[in-house]
Structure 1
Amino acid sequence: MKRTFDTLFVRLSLMTVGLIVAVHFMALLLIDQQRAKLDAQRSINNIVLAAQVRDRDDVLAEQVADTLGIHYVGVEHAVDAGCPGTCTDTYGPLEDSLRPRLGQGSHVVVDPDTSVVWVRRQNSSYWVVMPGYMPPLSHFMGFSALTLIAAVAMAVIFAWQVQRPVRALAKAAREYRVGRGVHRVAEAGPSELRELASDFNDMVSELAEAERERAIMLAGIAHDLRTPITRMQLRADLLTTDADRAALLRETESMSRIVTQFLDFARESVNHSTCVGVDEHCRRDYGAGQEDNAEDALVRLDLQAGEGFQLPAVDLDRILSNLIENALTYGEPPVDVSTSREEGRYVLRVRDQGAGVPEADLHRVQRPFVRLDAARSGEAHCGLGLAIVRRLVRHHDGAMDVSNAAQGGLVVTMSFPYPRKAG
């Protein structure tokens, strides 16, 4: 199962966002501490000045209080004047900084809603009330949240931009792996990614050129063999005995099949023929005798995928003809062809009733020009059947698995995305 969150983009986003959030809250904490220190120092200076003036001259004290925005409230009127919590001491960074400067026995109360500071020295008959010039940290939370959201959005955009070249490189590699041609990657991003993209472009270009040369060679050999094969078939009519004529025709037919496999394997382009239903195609081409439940039928069908399972007609015919021909040649009839929908994918299976393949050779048998003569001998084949099918399945975003059935025989399982893309 694919892990959606285990991607470069998600990891970069989480790392960057986590760092921004941590720095943001650390900055808020430090700012709040610094704000408390500044507020405490200002409060101490103002309160000490107000108390000293009040003790010496009441008239001057009123003038200073007006200038500083401070006023005096008698102890007996404090609660009625709005002293919070019946003038019970509060504790925080401001209060902790203010009490030692005011002397032992002093009281400090801060209104959490208005930030108004109430201060009373020991045995004093009045409270000094000072408005909170510095708003509490909660007043900054709205702006702080907007700043955090903007920073997170920028981090996500940055992470997306960083992973785009890597994503494009992975897509190009996947397209080349499944045989959809060479797609050059734009050389963008940091210098390391640009160098990687450049090296990748050079590598796939060289590999594609080597593949083209090999395909041209195979196609050329196959094409050159067509003419002598045709002449041999014509000259077979000149043979005097039926046995010799039949033997020569069998040989030329075997050579013709080999040439056809060479040409199929050398073909690079994806077929764009009209899509047909896989179930419908199997019933039409391999359904003879199915209605009558013929026991001697070479092919048995179990088609459960439905109309949505479609593939290009030419490619589907090449897949089934190669697999069924291999099954009849190397294995034993009947050949079971089944379709289904499993775990969100369309599945096409072809199974024979033969001896199967040694477990150690299951992967190797899918490679081009590999024939396991000891286990599955036959004529008119050059070891390209499964390689051709594997390439065609990959062309259509599918996956192929070759295994031995528990009941005996070789099983080729092909799965395709659901729903299938048109064309």
Structure 2
Amino acid sequence: MKMTIKRTFDTLFIRLSLMTIGLIVAVHFMALLLIDQERAKIDAQRSINNMMVAAEVRERDPVLADQVADTLGIRYVGVERAVAAGCPAPCADTFGPLEETLRPRLGVGSHVVVEPESSDVWVRKQNASYWIVMPGFMPPLSHFMGFSAFTLIGAIVVAVIFAWQVQRPVRALARAAREYRIGRGVHRVDEAGPRELRELAGDFNDMVSELAEAERERAVMLAGIAHDLRTPITRMQLRADLLTTDADRAALLRETESMSRIVTQFLDFARESVNHSAFVGVDEHCRRDYGAQQDEDALVKLDLRAGEGFKLPAVDLDRILSNLIENALTYGEPPVELSTSKEEGRYVLRVRDHGAGVPEDDLHRVQRPFVRLDAARSGEAHCGLGLAIVRRLVRHHDGSMDVTNAAQGGLVVTMSFPYPRKAV
């Protein structure tokens, strides 16, 4: 579960969205905090000015004080009537940005109370017999929260859309690179987005075009050489009948057969297009072609548990299995274990022999074209293309291949394919 969550958030879109949203939220709340502080300072200054005028007039001329009170919008309330007049009981000091700013300026022993609903400010100087009530000059911050929340949500939506638009060219580039890596041809990427991404897409298009051209030239050359070799090989096989001794004839036929297998591998490796033959059940194909003998002496032992849903093109499946089983019997030791299963939402096809395996340092290298590890798995009639052909075929069908050594000895080739596999 933890790994799944980590993968879910490990994308450019999610990271860019979270970063942008985080910055917007931080700036938004910082702005609200600063606005609230400034509002408190303005309200406090106004309250001090009005309070000082009201207090002085009250002390000098009570009659004039009522007129000033009407002008300033303030009122005088006796201490004994404060709670009844609306002062929040028990008319004790409240603490907020306005109160903290206003109280020190009024002198020691002064009291400041702010009503939470109306934001009216109640001020009483030290030992005064009355409270001065001033209406809130500015609405409380809570009055802005609805509009603030709406603005924040709008900014987040814009940020998500912006992040999505930015990551689209990168995602398209990654998809094209993956398609080219698994051998599905060259897919040009639209040169969209910021200038850097457009330049990257253009360079990528040029690079894959040049690589594809080089690959085609190599494939044509390889196929041409292999095709040209078939004719002399056929003539050599025919001339083997002219040899006088059976031993010489058998030896020459073995050599020509080895050469023919090498040529076949060359042609298989040079083939670029995906095979579009009919899909067949992998379990059914394995039983039909390799399940005739299932006893202790069987060269190939089956353990098929994937079910009918696991299907691959018949020609490609035959090429995969024939290459792997031939390698296992040639370089490893029988029996060859051929198994299928469902594991973590994927179909798995696994081939294992009981030979000496491959040195751990060479497990990745052995999958490359034309690599032969003579010290560990030497043989004849092979040019190091078997695993490379299988790897290319597996990738053609959105699969992955892993080559490991079994704990009890032998080489294990594990291929996994998306579940479910459907015929297309």
Could you tell me the TM-score, scaled by structure 1's length? 0.91
Distance (whole Å) between structure 1 residues aligned to residue 340 and residue 118 of structure 2: 74
Distance (whole Å) between structure 2 residues aligned to residue 107 and residue 220 of structure 1: 100
User: Which residue, 113, 119, 125 being the options, matches 2:123?
Assistant: 119
Instruction: Give, in angstroms, the shift of residue 235 of structure 1.
Output: 5.0
SS where residue 379 of structure 1 aligns?
coil
Distance (whole Å) between structure 2 residues aligned to residue 342 and residue 19 of structure 1: 42
* Distance change >3 Å, CA 135–CA 408, structure 1 → 2: same
Tell me which moved more, 67-76 or 300-309: 67-76
- Residue in 1 aligned with 2:151? 147
Question: Structure 1 residue 23 and structure 2 residue 24: aligned?
Answer: no
* Distance change >3 Å, CA 398–CA 109, structure 1 → 2: same
Instruction: Give, in angstroms, the shift of residue 63 of structure 1.
Output: 3.3
SS where residue 339 of structure 1 aligns?
strand
Question: Structure 1 residue 214 and structure 2 residue 218: aligned?
Answer: yes
Instruction: Give, in angstroms, the shift of residue 321 of structure 1.
Output: 0.7
Distance (whole Å) between structure 2 residues aligned to residue 358 and residue 135 of structure 1: 77
Question: Structure 1 residue 135 and structure 2 residue 139: aligned?
Answer: yes
Distance (whole Å) between structure 1 residues aligned to residue 296 and residue 111 of structure 2: 103
- Residue in 2 aligned with 1:109? 113
* Distance change >3 Å, CA 88–CA 218, structure 1 → 2: same
SS where residue 308 of structure 1 aligns?
coil
- Residue in 1 aligned with 2:71? 67
SS where residue 402 of structure 1 aligns?
strand
Tell me which moved more, 17-26 or 45-54: 45-54
Distance (whole Å) between structure 2 residues aligned to residue 376 and residue 99 of structure 1: 90
Equivalent pair of 2:309/2:422 in contact (CA under 8 Å): no
Q: For 2:364, give the aligned amino acid.
A: H
- Residue in 2 aligned with 1:405? 406
Instruction: Give, in angstroms, the shift of residue 238 of structure 1.
Output: 6.0
SS where residue 89 of structure 2 aligns?
helix
Equivalent pair of 2:357/2:410 in contact (CA under 8 Å): yes
Instruction: Give, in angstroms, the shift of residue 289 of structure 1.
Output: 2.2
- Residue in 2 aligned with 1:372? 373
Q: In the TM superposition, what are the counterparts of 1:360-399 in structure 2 within 5 Å?
A: 360-399=361-400
Distance (whole Å) between structure 1 residues aligned to residue 291 and residue 145 of structure 2: 73
Instruction: Give, in angstroms, the shift of residue 120 of structure 1.
Output: 2.4
Instruction: Give, in angstroms, the shift of residue 147 of structure 1.
Output: 1.5
SS where residue 337 of structure 1 aligns?
strand
Question: Structure 1 residue 273 and structure 2 residue 277: aligned?
Answer: yes
User: Which residue, 287, 290, 298 being the options, matches 2:291?
Assistant: 287
Question: Structure 1 residue 334 and structure 2 residue 338: aligned?
Answer: no
User: Which residue, 160, 163, 184 being the options, matches 1:159?
Assistant: 163
* Distance change >3 Å, CA 381–CA 93, structure 1 → 2: closer
Question: Structure 1 residue 88 and structure 2 residue 87: aligned?
Answer: no
Tell me which moved more, 299-308 or 349-358: 349-358
Q: For 2:173, give the aligned amino acid.
A: L
Question: Structure 1 residue 32 and structure 2 residue 36: aligned?
Answer: yes
- Residue in 2 aligned with 1:188? 192
Please, which runs of 5 or more residues in structure 2 have no aligned partner?
A: none
* Distance change >3 Å, CA 209–CA 106, structure 1 → 2: same
Instruction: Give, in angstroms, the shift of residue 244 of structure 1.
Output: 5.5
Q: For 1:93, give the aligned amino acid.
A: P
Could you tell me the TM-score, scaled by structure 2's length? 0.91
Instruction: Give, in angstroms, the shift of residue 265 of structure 1.
Output: 0.2
Instruction: Give, in angstroms, the shift of residue 395 of structure 1.
Output: 1.5
SS where residue 79 of structure 1 aligns?
helix
* Distance change >3 Å, CA 100–CA 234, structure 1 → 2: closer
* Distance change >3 Å, CA 102–CA 336, structure 1 → 2: closer
Tell me which moved more, 308-317 or 103-112: 103-112
- Residue in 2 aligned with 1:345? 346
SS where residue 85 of structure 2 aligns?
coil
* Distance change >3 Å, CA 73–CA 361, structure 1 → 2: closer
- Residue in 1 aligned with 2:175? 171
The C-alpha deviation readout for 1:268-321, integer Å capped at 9, x for no partner, is: 11223222221111011111023xxx3332211011122222222111111001
Matched residues, percent identical? 86
Q: For 1:348, give the aligned amino acid.
A: L
Instruction: Give, in angstroms, the shift of residue 22 of structure 1.
Output: 1.6
Instruction: Give, in angstroms, the shift of residue 34 of structure 1.
Output: 0.5
SS where residue 368 of structure 1 aligns?
coil
Tell me which moved more, 89-98 or 182-191: 89-98
* Distance change >3 Å, CA 138–CA 364, structure 1 → 2: same
- Residue in 2 aligned with 1:255? 259
Distance (whole Å) between structure 1 residues aligned to residue 278 and residue 250 of structure 2: 38
Question: Structure 1 residue 223 and structure 2 residue 235: aligned?
Answer: no
Instruction: Give, in angstroms, the shift of residue 375 of structure 1.
Output: 3.6
* Distance change >3 Å, CA 67–CA 421, structure 1 → 2: farther
The C-alpha deviation readout for 1:22-79, integer Å capped at 9, x for no partner, is: 2111111111111011111222222233333334444443333333322222222222
Instruction: Give, in angstroms, the shift of residue 266 of structure 1.
Output: 0.3
Q: For 2:150, give the aligned amino acid.
A: L
Please, which runs of 5 or more residues in structure 1 have no aligned partner?
A: none
